Structure 1
Amino acid sequence: MRVSTRVVLLLALLASVLSFAKFNHCAQTGWQSPDQYVHACYSDIPALYGERGLDKGVWAYSSGADSVEYPVIQGAIMWITAKVIPNGINNYFYTNALLLALLFIFISFITFRMKPEFGYLLPLAPAAVASLYINWDLWAIAMMMLAIYWFDRKAEVASAVALGIAISTKFLPIFLMIPIAIIFFRQEKISKFLKYAAVAVATFALINLPVALTTPVGWWRFYDLNLNRGSDWGSLWYSLSNLGLNLTHQNYLSILLLMIGLSALTIFLLQLRTPPTLAHTAIFVMIIVMAVSKVYSPQYVLWLTPLAVIALIDRRDLTVFWFWQGAEVMYHVAIWQHLAQVTGAQFGLPVVAYSAIALVRIGASLILLVRLAARHQSSRVFPSQFLLSTGESYP
């Protein structure tokens, strides 16, 4: 079903308002626990405002081990909005929510540009809409989507710069370098890949070096946390532990499964009949990374939903898309109701039920991956046709 740009923008605006109404309950009741979990309106934005000294104007990376646990651009956004907007925690949340709403509208627009026949799906995806204001992820997602859009339109330098910015905002987009490398390899353009990688690395270095050199401990905190953290909410490892299968050496197992998954993806992309597009393959690498990672945050659905939309081929793929969204909605309810119980609510979701639902969520994402991979393997949609349908015909 094709809709106009105006309709997509209106849907995205309405989705942003609906999501804000959900989170605003917590703002009006003071972000108290277990109430913020019972009403599923918890957000990291107010939670970190005081915990990381942002309310006192402290630079995001100057507190050593207590610095913000995010890459440089996200930390800078957290700090700048705290400096510019005075008068308390709710104003801080409202300002960041407004910026995130604008980003969601932009992401909906760029998704529509890449996949006009399914562009309406992102602002209608319930799990994504329910998660808009949990964290600052949309800043990185917007740059990642721009990187994909420009890459498939052959604007490789702009794409590499956008990817470097995205990686400096949230590290997940680094994994897009794998399908990008394979696409260049399939096209026999190794020199172009080296140039692309050099531009992305240079962009990342230009952004990160000033912070790494001036506040190295604070800058390193994000990377140290991700290298050494144990299993956490939503992950395969955390769920298995709660269900009685407490595997040792989870760091190594996570890396091993990641290597296996990425190797399988590489083999799959190399044996496709024609070189794939980044828009068609980005979803695969992101699902693999998230499925085996040591944390699988509820807002990660914001990363996968636009990628899933631009990877759809035709209406036959809608069933698996909505099935996966249903599993994500179920998990969205489960995580908050379990945390409600943990923080003293009269009613809540026991840990065993929560862990089982977390595994269902991971399983649903893998089903989405397998379905889309099978469709792309058998499809006769070639890159030239894809580009024509997703941007080349637009001014």
Structure 2
Amino acid sequence: MTHVDPTHDDPVVAGMSGAVGGPLGERAARGGAFSVLGVLLAITALTFALGLLTKTTCAQDDWSLQEADRFTHACSSEVADEYTGTGLVELAWPWSGEEATRDRYPVTDQPALVGLWTYATARVTYLLSGSPDVSERYRQPVTAVAQSDDAAGERSLFMAVNAVLLAGVAMLATAALAAVHRRRPWDAAGFAAAPVLALAGAISFDLLAVAAVAGALWAWSRGRGVLAGALVGVGAAAGFWPVLVLAAFLLVAATERRAAWVLPSAVTAVATWAVLNAPAFLTGRAQWERAWSATFERGADQGSVWRIVADTAGLATDVGLVVSWLLVALWTGLVVALVLLAPARARVSQVALLLVAGYALLGIAYEPRQALWLLPLAALARPRWRDLLVWQAGEVFFLAATSWWQGGLLSPGSGETAGFYWVAIVVRLVCTGWLVAVVVRDLWWPEADPVGDPETAPSGRSGDEAQDSTMRSNVVAV
């Protein structure tokens, strides 16, 4: 089996290869699958490390900079804030219903799997810090605890522990994406070397869901529907959006009149999600529900088109929320129609990208880290660096503008709303729209799709076996 070489397949990579002697020659030695994977993992590690370097200013101060300063230096981190902001510094259970804990700290608004992850990494931080006596902290004001030297050091260590583990999670995602298409492992480079991964990978916990989705796509490509469903369940326990990947499985299978294939996946997805949510649900149901309310009851917030509407024309929270979800539902209906009417079968990554992009474009709020949701899907759905970079240029610009806006740097002296931030939102929408447009084009004109032949067989056969078979109609593509 010969791998598709990116220096021949991608015009951007081919042009850049001139700096190192040009595209790979026909007589050049080619490494095996392990060497390709090794390079991809090294690229992932380098990308992640470069991203951490952009947070040096905050890291040098143990992530203790004032909020405005962190935003000014674009190094604010949801991970660091979680440690001292939700009681992990006192080893408080995230969903504790104890009155003393709730009087001191707000309930975490993280999904169940993220809450379990943060509690586990807080325990690791506690052990690596020499197991300090946290009982002394109960008698101090919360602000005093957060500003203490001990807590600052632990917060920095907590950030380091999570950075190492999240880097490992990113590598797992790269490995899964590289294995989806046997002849196209280099498509995973769109994830491994992504600017979005560098800038947002270590500052949030979204990579947990991202890696689960990457694994689900790999499992589906090997016909392992039960495992694919279980991984979707893992992802859904870390964020609601992976459910849309399960919807993509169903929609693509339905085009082949084999929707029943998805039933085992759906069952295992629900079961896995329930198991991972059980600790939070059983120990603090009211607190567990906080994550759901935080997700589905937000008003017009940063990053969305609704923010512009709210700033310019005013927008009631309830109205904006309803209209937003109605438009997302309409978008989903249009995606369904497109997939059913397309002249060729759609690939799962294409459908999933279009479904998730609907929320990214029309959702009531959008944070820079949410670009990670689209990243593994984009790498497989449109493995062309031109389109990936166009999309990510908008995301990087938006990330910087959001940070500066939150730090007050984009606020006009007159006290009016920040028009420059609106520009950043529009740029993000346009660049995401570009990515959506080229994927829609690939669906409607299959000859433009760089991936071409599908490689997955939910019936249990591998993609290569399916391609060698005369029963090509059995294939459902990733």
Scaled by the length of structure 1, the TM-score of the pair is: 0.91
Structure 1: distance between partners of 2:272 and 2:227? 11
Which residue of structure 1 lines up, in the alignment, with residue 56 of structure 2? 24
| Distance verdict in 2 for CA 1:354–1:384, change over 3 Å | closer
Counting matched residue pairs gives 387
Name whichever of 245-254 and 44-53 sits farther off: 245-254
How far apart are 1:264 and its partner, in Å? 0.3
| 8 A contact 2:45–2:171 mirrored in 1 | yes
- Asked if 1:258 is matched to 2:292, the reply is no
- Asked if 1:232 is matched to 2:301, the reply is yes
How far apart are 1:354 and its partner, in Å? 0.9
- Asked if 1:359 is matched to 2:426, the reply is yes
| Distance verdict in 2 for CA 1:383–1:337, change over 3 Å | closer
SS in 2 for 1:140: helix
| Distance verdict in 2 for CA 1:387–1:230, change over 3 Å | same
Name whichever of 92-101 and 65-74 sits farther off: 65-74
The letter for the 1-side match of 2:424 is I
| Distance verdict in 2 for CA 1:383–1:343, change over 3 Å | closer
Structure 2: distance between partners of 1:205 and 1:225? 19
How far apart are 1:134 and its partner, in Å? 1.5
Structure 2: distance between partners of 1:356 and 1:27? 30
The letter for the 2-side match of 1:24 is T
The letter for the 1-side match of 2:177 is T
How far apart are 1:118 and its partner, in Å? 2.8
| Distance verdict in 2 for CA 1:131–1:92, change over 3 Å | same
Which residue of structure 1 lines up, in the alignment, with residue 28 of structure 2? none
How far apart are 1:277 and its partner, in Å? 2.5
Deviation digits for residues 312-355 of structure 1 (CA, Å, limit 9, x no counterpart): 26xxx432322111111111110111112179999xx9722112
Which residue of structure 2 lines up, in the alignment, with residue 14 of structure 1? 46
How far apart are 1:55 and its partner, in Å? 0.6
| Distance verdict in 2 for CA 1:363–1:344, change over 3 Å | closer
Which residue of structure 1 lines up, in the alignment, with residue 355 of structure 2? 285
Which residue of structure 2 lines up, in the alignment, with residue 217 of structure 1? 286
| Distance verdict in 2 for CA 1:160–1:131, change over 3 Å | same
Deviation digits for residues 347-373 of structure 1 (CA, Å, limit 9, x no counterpart): xx9722112211220221122101111
Name whichever of 216-225 and 118-127 sits farther off: 118-127
| 8 A contact 2:382–2:450 mirrored in 1 | no
Which residue of structure 1 lines up, in the alignment, with residue 374 of structure 2? 304
How far apart are 1:96 and its partner, in Å? 0.4
- Asked if 1:187 is matched to 2:256, the reply is yes
Which residue of structure 2 lines up, in the alignment, with residue 58 of structure 1? 92
Deviation digits for residues 123-171 of structure 1 (CA, Å, limit 9, x no counterpart): 3222331111111111111011111111132110000011111101111
| 8 A contact 2:227–2:265 mirrored in 1 | no
Say what the alpha-carbon RMSD is for the aligned residues: 2.6
| 8 A contact 1:40–1:336 mirrored in 2 | yes
Deviation digits for residues 224-260 of structure 1 (CA, Å, limit 9, x no counterpart): 1222221212122113323x13233001111111111
- Asked if 1:156 is matched to 2:229, the reply is no
Which of 314, 328, 338 pairs up with 2:405? 338
| 8 A contact 2:233–2:270 mirrored in 1 | yes
- Asked if 1:40 is matched to 2:74, the reply is yes
The letter for the 2-side match of 1:16 is F
Which residue of structure 2 lines up, in the alignment, with residue 272 of structure 1? 342
The letter for the 1-side match of 2:91 is G
Which residue of structure 2 lines up, in the alignment, with residue 241 of structure 1? 310
Structure 2: distance between partners of 1:132 and 1:309? 16
Larger radius of gyration: 2
| Distance verdict in 2 for CA 1:54–1:344, change over 3 Å | farther
The letter for the 1-side match of 2:445 is S
The letter for the 1-side match of 2:264 is K
Structure 2: distance between partners of 1:22 and 1:104? 18
| Distance verdict in 2 for CA 1:383–1:179, change over 3 Å | farther
Is there any run of 5+ residues in structure 1 with no aligned partner, and where?
none
Name whichever of 187-196 and 71-80 sits farther off: 187-196
- Asked if 1:79 is matched to 2:119, the reply is yes
The letter for the 2-side match of 1:289 is Y
| 8 A contact 1:257–1:292 mirrored in 2 | yes
Which of 99, 105, 112 pairs up with 2:165? 99
How far apart are 1:25 and its partner, in Å? 2.2
Structure 2: distance between partners of 1:110 and 1:10? 15
| Distance verdict in 2 for CA 1:89–1:345, change over 3 Å | farther
Structure 2: distance between partners of 1:60 and 1:176? 28
Which of 73, 90, 107 pairs up with 1:67? 107
The letter for the 2-side match of 1:38 is T
User: Percent identity among equivalent residues?
Assistant: 22
Structure 1: distance between partners of 2:114 and 2:76? 19
Structure 1: distance between partners of 2:41 and 2:337? 38
Structure 1: distance between partners of 2:169 and 2:398? 24
How far apart are 1:276 and its partner, in Å? 2.1
| Distance verdict in 2 for CA 1:190–1:125, change over 3 Å | closer
Is there any run of 5+ residues in structure 2 with no aligned partner, and where?
1-5, 8-34, 130-153, 457-461, 466-478
Which residue of structure 2 lines up, in the alignment, with residue 387 of structure 1? 455
The letter for the 2-side match of 1:95 is V
